[in-house]
Amino acid sequence: MKRSSLLDLLVLVIRRDLVLAMRRRADVLTTLIFFVMVVSLFPLGVGPEMAMLRKMAAGVLWVAALLSSMLSLGRLFSADYLDGTLEQMMLAPQSLSMLVLGKMVAHWMVSGLPLVLMAPVLGLQFDMSVEALGVLILGLLLGSPVLSMIGAIGAALTLGLRGGGVLLSLLVLPLTIPVLIFGTGAVEAISSGLEITSHLSFLGALLLLALVFTPWVTAQALRISME
Amino acid sequence: MSLDIWMRENPLTYIWLGSYAVAFLIFAIEVAMVRHKRKITLQQVRLLRNVGDDE
Amino acid sequence: MAINWFKYSAPTTFYGLAGKLIPWFATSSVILAAIALYIGFYVAPTDAIQGEFYRIIFIHVPASILSMFLYLIMAGYAALGLIFKTRLSSMMATAIAPTGALFAFISLWTGALWGKPMWGAWWMWDARLTSELILLFLYLGFIALHASIDDPRRADRAAALLAIVGSVNVPIIYFSVKWWNTLHQGSTIKFSGTSMHVAMQQAMFTMLVACWLYAIAVALMRVRSIILERERNTTWISELPEVKL
């Protein structure tokens, strides 16, 4: 009985956040456009030599995904914080961790997933091979939720602070470095003909760890910020 | 290029100027900053106290 | 005995204790540093491979070790403050942070200067230097977060949570960076032979202790200013001789 009601709660929160996000489509699109723009800046900066761009591709796409995620994280709690809904959520008898998890999932669906879908298109600009693109997508699929979840901790800690967005990035980016390393490492491995299971397993392990720990930690961070 | 040559001919000077002097400078600056902070904090507390006395 | 310890966990009594201890830590630090430098530069022999340049390690390695050690101590104090709500613990964490960050910076700087004669470049993305850079970012994040929050209680608790999350991440980050480095065939620093000369070890260890004592002295100095600031509205502060003047 209790288990199904937790799941119902999760679905409820996800649906609510998705509906709210759909009403503000501009926010979603600007994150995506930022992603595309950052990726496009690199060839402009380093030159159009294809061999070099092919080598850089995975790194550029992953870093751009990281930065785009950071930008969108400010929105995770701010709207609810400003109109008082967050306070209500915290006073509710239901598990705050579950509510937070729901918000994280919705945020990823709206901010992370579009990046994952957009990445292969941009990867073609860098002349990435089909296998490399496949591993890129897989890595981003495993890694982008982790970015959202670790970022949520930062968003909760910096709730309502001035200079919030940049501060959030400063706090969260170092913590996302392992995801970056293994995501790009996997693409490099496939390009060199090496096996990718260890990289993807590690990303999967990070995803599981994040799923287990980050909702609770974020809930604690929210309590600290809201007192 | 001349830096490389100078470095190889004067290794100890390079080490002392580049590493140890910088480290000790940083330590000195840190101590100076902590003492300055203490001075300012004491001034503020005295100010508060005098204001309190005047009331 | 147990009661005595708790007595010192209150800012009022700790302030006095810290004030008395600082000169001892400071002087012993200076003496040990002088000894370490003497051993390092006069007693330790020239290395067969690296010549004189290796002597940078006598400051580089202690700085690295201390930067990592201080981060854990800082996180530990922060956690104590978060869990037991003891104000002094949080103040100690805040006091340690800048010192830890500066040691990380010294480690990076001296590492770069060591790299120049060794590899010909001012920076090498080897696992340790890169991890040290990330550690510096973690320190700066802690300091920045604490400074950005006006309410001292929220600041202490938010920064504490960040420090704890950081500490849990440090092994993961170090492992990933190490793995990343071996993949890209990074260089590692080697000495002639497999073990270090005794004098080199002595110098390094002595300097390590000297830096450790220095860190304690500076942290105690800093925490006294923090106590003064936080407790400025209390009577015991206004009764202090340095305030009464």
Contact B38 C224 (CB under 8 A): yes
Mean pLDDT score, C66-77: 96
pLDDT of residue A2: 57
CA distance C157 to A224: 6
Evaluate whether C123 touches C108 at the Cβ level (below 8 Å): no
CA distance C95 to C228: 13
User: Which band of pLDDT confidence, cut at 50, 70 and 90, is reported for residue C195?
Assistant: low
pLDDT of residue C6: 62
CB contacts of B48 in chain C (<8 Å) are: 232-233
How many percent of chain C have pLDDT more than 70? 90
pLDDT of residue C227: 94
Per-residue pLDDT at C186 exceeds 70: no
pLDDT of residue C185: 54
Q: Which two tokens stand for residue C35?
A: 């000894």
Residue C51 phi/psi, 5° resolution?
65, -135
Contact B19 C114 (CB under 8 A): yes
Q: What are the structural domain ranges in chain B? A: 24-55
Mean pLDDT score, C165-183: 85
Residue C222 phi/psi, 5° resolution?
-65, -40
User: Which band of pLDDT confidence, cut at 50, 70 and 90, is reported for residue C70?
Assistant: very high
CB contacts of A182 in chain C (<8 Å) are: 176
C212 to chain A nearest CA, in Å? 26
CA dist C126 → A175, A227, C55 (Å): 19, 43, 20
Q: Is A146 helix (H, G, I), strand (E, B) or coil?
A: helix
pTM equals: 0.90
pLDDT of residue B7: 80
Q: Which two tokens stand for residue A206?
A: 């990070």
Q: Contacts by A158-161 with C-beta closer than 8 Å and gap 24+?
A: A158/A225, A158/C145, A158/C148, A159/A77, A159/A78, A159/A81, A159/A222, A159/A225, A159/A226, A160/A78, A160/A81, A160/A225, A161/C148, A161/C149
With residues binned 3-state (H G I as helix, E B as strand, rest as coil), the percentages for chain A, rounded to 5, are: 90, 0, 10
User: Which band of pLDDT confidence, cut at 50, 70 and 90, is reported for residue C108?
Assistant: very high
CA distance C33 to C211: 8
User: Which band of pLDDT confidence, cut at 50, 70 and 90, is reported for residue C72?
Assistant: very high
CA distance A37 to A54: 18
CB contacts of B19 in chain C (<8 Å) are: 56, 59-60, 109-110, 113-114
Per-residue pLDDT at C194 exceeds 50: no
Q: Is C51 helix (H, G, I), strand (E, B) or coil?
A: strand
Closest CA to C122 of B27, A45, A181, B4: B4
Contact A181 C180 (CB under 8 A): yes
Mean pLDDT score, C224-234: 91
pLDDT tens-digit series, residues C138-152: 999 999 999 999 999
CB contacts of C173 in chain A (<8 Å) are: 174-175, 177-178
Residue among C140, C153, C161 whose CB faces A221 most closely: C161
Contact A158 C153 (CB under 8 A): no
Count of beta carbons in the 10 Å neighbourhood of residue A75: 19
pLDDT, averaged across chain C: 87
Number of residues that this document lists for chain A: 227
Residue among C98, C116, C228 whose CB faces B42 most closely: C228
The answer for residues whose C-beta is within 8 angstroms of residue A116's C-beta and 6 or more apart is A137, A140, A141, A144
Q: What are the structural domain ranges in chain C? A: 12-244
Sequential pLDDT tens for chain A (227 residues)? 456 788 888 999 999 999 988 888 888 888 899 999 999 999 999 988 988 999 899 999 999 999 999 999 988 998 889 888 899 888 888 889 999 999 999 999 999 999 999 999 999 989 999 999 999 999 999 999 999 999 999 999 999 898 778 999 999 999 999 999 999 999 999 988 888 899 999 999 999 999 999 999 999 999 999 98
CB contacts of B43 in chain C (<8 Å) are: none
pLDDT of residue C4: 55
User: Which band of pLDDT confidence, cut at 50, 70 and 90, is reported for residue C193?
Assistant: very low
Which chains border C (3 or more CB–CB pairs < 8 Å)?
A, B
Weakest-pLDDT range from A120-134, C1-15, C55-69: C1-15
Among chain C residues, CA nearest to B4: C117
Per-residue pLDDT at B55 exceeds 70: no
pLDDT tens-digit series, residues C17-33: 999 999 999 999 999 99
Q: Which two tokens stand for residue C149?
A: 């929050």
Q: Is A158 on the interface with C (CB under 8 A)?
A: yes
Q: Is C116 on the interface with B (CB under 8 A)?
A: yes
